[in-house]
Structure 1
Amino acid sequence: MLLLIPGPVQTRPEVRAAMAVDIAPWDNDFAPEYIAIRETLRDVAGGIAGRHVCLPLQGAGHFITEAAIRTFIPAAAAGGGKLLIPMNGTYAERMARLAREAGRTVVELPAPDSRGVTPEAVAAALAADPAISHLGVVYSETGSGIVNDVPALGAVVRAAGRRMIVDAVSAFGALPFSLQAQPEVDAVLFTSNKCIEGLPGIGFAICPAERVEAAAGNAGSWSFDLADVYSTAQRAGWGSFRFTPAVQALHAFGVALDIFIAEGGQPARLARYRENCRILYEGGRALGLRPYLDWENQGPVIVLFHQPEHPDFTLQGFVDALKRRGVLISNFHNTAAPTMRIGCIGHVGPDEMRFALGALRGALEELGIRQRDAA
C-alpha cells in the first residue's frame, strides 16, 4: 500500500525493521544512541553545541507544541505575555486551543488559508499590542498546503524584540531552518514521523539552553515541562529519560535520521518533495482536478484538490476506490470547501507519484467521473 498522507508517512523497510527489537531505555548500551540522536537533531536545526539543546517528549505533535507554550510563556494568572497566532489553518487553530486551555492569552491574527501570512501583518499586530511576548506560527500548514515564511516572520519578531515558537512538525527536515540565523526562536518543534521519515511516538523541541533555564517553573505541568526535561538531562545525563519513552520508535528514528543524512539532508529532501509535489499538482490538473492553492502558494508537503462536483462523488467512496488500487489518502479535510488531501512526503519519489496519478485516474473512472466532470 502506498501511503500518501502528511504523516505518519511511508517509511523504508529498514526503518520498520528497527522496531522489531526489545530495548531497555535506561540500559547503558542505548544511552550513546539516544545522545547521538539529540546531537544530530541539534545540528540539523542549525544549533550549536553548548548553546542549544534537543528536548524530546513522548507523544504527538500537539504534545510538544503544548509543552513549548507552557514552558516559554507563563500563565496569564502569573503575568505571562500574550501569544500572537496567525490563524491561516487548522493547526494554527489547534495551537490557539492548546494555549487557551493551558491558561495562556491568545491574540488571533486573521489570515486566509490560501497563502502564508505577511511579515507586514505580523509587524502591525506586534506594534498594536506591546503585551504580546511571542509569535506562534505553523511553518507548514497541512490543513491547506501553504507555507508561512518563518525566516521573514522571524526578522520582524527579532526587530520588535519579541520571541517566537515555531511549529515545524511537517516542515522540519524539508524546509530550511537555522537557530543560529534566528536567535529570536525559543523552540522549533517537530516529530519523528514526518519529513525525517521515522515512525510516530516522539516529539522534539530544539531550544536555546539559556531560554530553557530561565523558563523553570512556568509550565504548571510535570509531563509538559521542557525545563524539567532539560534539568533531568543535566542531572542524570543526556542519555537519560524522565518517563518510559516509545523507545522502539526512537531506535527506528535513529535509523531514519542516518538515512536522512546520507541522502543529503534538508536540501535533498526538499528537492525530492518539491518534485513529488510538482508531479502531483500538474498530473491532478491534467485529470481535471482543481488545486485548492495557486502554484505560487503551494508548499511541498501536501496538495489539496477540490472535490469533484458530481452526484456520484463521495470522499470516502473515492478513498476506498483508491485503496483498491494500492493508494491510501486521508478520508477527511480541514478546509471550509470540500477538498481531497494527498501527501507528497515520506519514502516516495517520482515513480510513486506517477503510480498514484494512475490510481487517481482509475478511481475517478470507477465512480463515473470524467475529466470535464471533475473540473
Structure 2
Amino acid sequence: MLLLIPGPVQTRPEVRAAMAVDIAPWDDDTQAELAALRERLLAIAGGVPGEHAVLPVTGAGHAVVEACLRSFVPPGGKVLIPLNGAYAQRMARLAREAGRAVVALEVPDTRPVGAAEVAAALAADPAIGHVGMVYSETGSGIVNDPEAVGAAVRAAGRRLVLDAVSAFGALPFRMDAHPECDALAFTTGKCLEGMPGIGMAVARTDRLLACAGRAGSWVLDLAAIHDHALRNGWGSHRFTPAVQVLHALGAALDLYDREGGQPARLARYAENARVLYEGALALGLTPYLERRHQGPIVVTVHQPPDPAFALRGFVAALKARGVLISNFFSTATPTFRVGCIGAVTPGEMGAAVAAMRDALDSLGVRRRAAA
C-alpha cells in the first residue's frame, strides 16, 4: 500500500524494523541514544548548543504546539495567529483553551499570509506579545513564509512560536538566524520520515528560564522539561516516553543524512508535488491552490462536481488500487488531499496519478473540473 497522507507518513523498512525491540527508557544506552538524537535534531534546526534546546513531548503535534503556547505566551497574554488554514484554527483553539487571548488575523486558506499584514496587525495592537504561525498548512497545502514574517515580528519587538509540524526536515528554517523565535515545534512522523508519537520543540534557553512556572500544566511545560534535562542529563526524560519511536527516529535520521539532508529531502518532495499537481491537471481536475502558492508537502484538489463522485467512494477505489489518501477534508470548499511526503518517490507518485485516473473512470466520474 502506498500511503499518501501528510502524516504519519510512509516509512522505510529500516525504520519499521527499529520499532520491533523492547527497550528500557532509563537504561544508560537508551539515555545516550536520546542525548545523541537531541544533538542531531538541534543541528537540523540550526540551533546553537547552550542557546537552544531540543525538548521532547510524547504525543501528537498538537501536544508540542500546546506546550509551546503554554510555556511562552503568558496566561491572558495576546497571541496573533494568521488564520489561513485548519491547523491555524487548531492552534488558535489550543491557545484559547490554555487561557491565552487570541487575536485572529483572517486570511484566505488559498494563499500565505503577508509580512505586511502581520506588521500592520502588530502595530495596531501593542499588547500583542507573540505571533503563532503554522509554517505548512496540510489542510490546503499553502506554505507561510517564516523568513519574511519572522523579520516583521523581530522589527516589531515581538516573539514568534512556529508550528513546523509538517515542515521540519524539508522546509528550511534556522533558529540561529531567528532570535525572535521562542520555539519551533515539530514531530517525528512527518518530514523526518520516522514513526509518529513524539513531538519536539527547539526552544531558546534564555526564554525558557524566563518562563518558568508559566505553563499551567505539569506535562506540557517546556521550562520544566528543560530544567529536568539540566539536572538529570540530556538523555533523561521526565515521564516514560514512546521509546521505540525515539529508537526508530535514529534509523530515520541515518537515512535522512544518507539522502543529503534538508535540501535533498525538499527536492524530492517538491518533485513529488509537481508530478501530482500536473497529473491532476492532466486528469481534468482542479487543484485547490494556484501553482504559485502550491507547497511541496500536500496537494489539495477540488472534488469533482460530477454526482458520481463521493469522497469515501473515491478513497475506497484508490485503496483497492494500492493507494491510501485521507478520507476527509478541512478546506473551505470540498476537496481531497494527497500527501507528497514520506518515503515516496516521484515514480511512485506518477503511479498514484494513474491509480487516480483508473479510480475516477471506474466510478464514472466525467465532470472533473471545478465549477
Q: Does TM, scored on the shorter chain, surpass 0.5? A: yes
Name which of 363, 366, 369 aligns with 2:365.
Answer: 369
One-letter amino acid of the counterpart of residue 283, structure 1: G
- Aligned twin of 2:279: 283
- Aligned twin of 1:115: 111
Structure 1's unaligned 5+ residue stretches are: none
Alpha-carbon distance in structure 1 between the residues aligned to 2:232 and 2:163: 28
| Maintained 8 Å contact 2:109/2:332 | no
Alpha-carbon distance in structure 2 between the residues aligned to 1:311 and 1:89: 27
- Aligned twin of 2:294: 298
- Aligned twin of 1:218: 214
* Aligned-pair CA distance for 1:374: 1.1
- Aligned twin of 2:50: 50
* Aligned-pair CA distance for 1:257: 1.2
Alpha-carbon distance in structure 2 between the residues aligned to 1:224 and 1:132: 23
- Aligned twin of 1:253: 249
Alpha-carbon distance in structure 1 between the residues aligned to 2:39 and 2:62: 23
Structure 2's unaligned 5+ residue stretches are: none
- Aligned twin of 1:38: 38
- Aligned twin of 2:309: 313
- Aligned twin of 2:59: 59
Residue by residue over 1:299-319, the C-alpha shift from the partner in whole angstroms, topping out at 9 and shown as x without a partner, is: 000001111111111000000
Name which of 193, 218, 240 aligns with 2:236.
Answer: 240
- % identical aligned pairs: 65
Question: Partner of 2:177: helix, strand, or coil?
Answer: coil
Name which of 176, 181, 201 aligns with 2:177.
Answer: 181
- Aligned twin of 1:71: 71
Query: Does 2:104 correspond to 1:104?
Result: no
Matches within 5 A, 1:148-187: 148-187=144-183
* Aligned-pair CA distance for 1:336: 1.8
Alpha-carbon distance in structure 1 between the residues aligned to 2:256 and 2:25: 23
One-letter amino acid of the counterpart of residue 222, structure 1: W
**What TM-score comes out, normalization by structure 2 length?**
0.99
Alpha-carbon distance in structure 2 between the residues aligned to 1:304 and 1:51: 38
One-letter amino acid of the counterpart of residue 374, structure 1: R
* Aligned-pair CA distance for 1:24: 0.3
Alpha-carbon distance in structure 2 between the residues aligned to 1:172 and 1:210: 23
- Aligned twin of 2:21: 21
Alpha-carbon distance in structure 2 between the residues aligned to 1:83 and 1:3: 35
Matches within 5 A, 1:259-274: 259-274=255-270
* Aligned-pair CA distance for 1:50: 1.4
Which consecutive aligned stretches of 4+ in structure 1 deviate over 4 angstroms post-superposition? none
One-letter amino acid of the counterpart of residue 322, structure 1: L
- Aligned twin of 1:4: 4
One-letter amino acid of the counterpart of residue 317, structure 2: A
One-letter amino acid of the counterpart of residue 150, structure 2: G
Residue by residue over 1:139-188, the C-alpha shift from the partner in whole angstroms, topping out at 9 and shown as x without a partner, is: 00011000000110000000000000000000001111001111100000
Residue by residue over 1:210-268, the C-alpha shift from the partner in whole angstroms, topping out at 9 and shown as x without a partner, is: 11111101001101000010000011110101000100011001110111112111110
- Aligned twin of 1:130: 126
Question: Partner of 1:272: helix, strand, or coil?
Answer: helix
One-letter amino acid of the counterpart of residue 293, structure 2: N
Name which of 344, 348, 351 aligns with 1:352.
Answer: 348
Question: Partner of 1:11: helix, strand, or coil?
Answer: coil
Alpha-carbon distance in structure 2 between the residues aligned to 1:220 and 1:52: 22
Report how many aligned residue pairs link the two structures: 369
One-letter amino acid of the counterpart of residue 101, structure 1: E
**What TM-score comes out, normalization by structure 1 length?**
0.98
Question: Partner of 1:30: helix, strand, or coil?
Answer: helix
One-letter amino acid of the counterpart of residue 320, structure 1: A
Alpha-carbon distance in structure 2 between the residues aligned to 1:374 and 1:143: 21
Question: Partner of 2:11: helix, strand, or coil?
Answer: coil
